[in-house]
Amino acid sequence: MRTAPPPRIITSNQILRQQYHTLRSGDIVIGRLRLKTTEEHLLLDLVERGIILFPSALSQHLCRSKTFQAHLFSGQMLPLTMSIHDQHDMLKTVNLYQQNGINRVVTKLDRKNAGMGIHLWRDVEDVFTHAALGSLPFPFVIQPFAENSRDIRVIILGDYIESYARHNPNNFRNNLHCGGQSNPCELSGEQLDLCRQAMSRGKFPYAHIDLMIVESGETFLAEINLRGGIKGAKISPADYGSRVEAIHRHFLGTR
């Protein structure tokens, strides 16, 4: 009786591309896939063929789409955070926001990072007008503007947890890329639980997580990613990389 060949372990995107059509069920791909905007379907194909991805295909897809995050994590995000894919979604949201007396709103372009795709609007009708006229491209995320909210970035790499507050006195975008400043801060147990829940739901083995703390003191998930900038963090790039590699090695050791 012929035994099955041992699984192949793919650790580079170049090798993945070269061997893509010969991969078999049980083969393992380690590390994030470098995909073009229209190539996310490859994640589905790999999973359907039984190829094991680490990080998971779900986490990799979530990293690439803010609208997907708003779908999956709606219960953990600021209430009435919505994914908008077309004018029908937008019209429903106009009615919903006006019923709830929501004025200023924020939109997040689907694939923009570092605060570059975040826009503040006077009201939801302005968003509808720009979307209908084509100057605001679909899809995007819309949510009520949380006045005086605070921002915390959390880095979780196995047993390493670091958190720091980000603040910009001149801009509601607290991203350091947009001029924000950072200061170390402690997470509450409830905030850490929120991070862990998001990682579990999205099958993230490690993560960069942005939390939003509103005036009432409630904490909501703003965004989650497998990787983000570490400007403002204590961890060095070398330590960061070695910890990620250690998580990858540990996963392979459990197979």
CB 155 within 8 A of CB 122: no
Strands (E), the chain: 9-10, 28-30, 52-54, 82-84, 105-109, 118-121, 140-144, 150-157, 160-167, 181-184, 206-213, 219-225
Q: Any long-range contacts for 15-23 (C-beta under 8 Å, 24+ apart)?
A: 23/49, 23/51
| Phi, psi of 209, rounded to the nearest 5 degrees | -125, 135
Pair 103, 109: CB distance under 8 Å? no
Q: What is the pLDDT, as a whole number, of residue 169?
A: 62
Taking Cα atoms as reference points, which of 166, 117, 167, 174 lies closest to residue 141? 117
pLDDT, average across residues 176-202: 84
pLDDT classification of 254: cutoffs 50, 70, 90: confident
pTM above 0.85, yes or no: yes
Q: Can you tell me the mean pLDDT for 28-40?
A: 93
Mean pLDDT of the chain: 91
